[in-house]
Amino acid sequence: MSKELESSQKIDSARVPPEVCGWNWGAFWLGPIWAFGNQVFGGLFWWMVLVVGLIPVWIFLCCQHEADKLPPNISLVLACLSLLLTLSHFIFYPVAVLVLAARGNQRAWRHNRWRSIGEFQMIQRRWAIAGWLLGIPVTVFNFLAICGFSLIFLTVYVAPYMR
């Protein structure tokens, strides 16, 4: 057995070494995927809240062409609810991302068995690279989708009352 492996087996997983602590870009950009891959299932709670909150928004967008068949009051309530859920992501999303990125390394260290601190840092560096490559396009897409939904809401439901 190598000397590094022998010494790393003595590392107590409950005690997080100072070299492990710090910001995790993989958790920041790839939150739910990173949490699942590192067995940090507590981090998935935040993302579940976001996904469940988006279901009415996507239903509304899919049924937009049939909105004229609904009574005006119900259609307006559904549109307002969908917009409220969409805008609430501007609160929940940053909180979830910041908590997971700030505490991700400590949680990943505690929830997995690592051979050494070097192995942990190498794996987290790969997550960070993947996060930068995939996270930015996904974030831009989400921002454009939210802007598009807001524009649909404004043109369909707010503009007619402005006349």
The most distant pair of C-alpha atoms in the chain lies apart, rounded to whole Å, by 79
pTM for the whole structure: 0.66
Q: Distance between CA atoms of 44 and 36, rounded to whole angstroms?
A: 7
Instruction: Give residue-wise pLDDT tens across range 3-49.
Output: 444 333 444 556 889 889 999 999 999 888 888 889 888 767 766 66
Please report the pLDDT score of residue 141 as a whole number.
87
Please report the pLDDT score of residue 65 as a whole number.
62
Is pLDDT of 128 > 50? yes
Is pLDDT of 66 > 80? no
Q: Around Cβ 103, how many Cβ atoms within 10 Å?
A: 17
Instruction: Give residue-wise pLDDT tens across range 56-65.
Output: 666 666 666 6
The rounded radius of gyration (Å) of the Cα atoms in the chain is 21
Q: Around Cβ 108, how many Cβ atoms within 10 Å?
A: 26
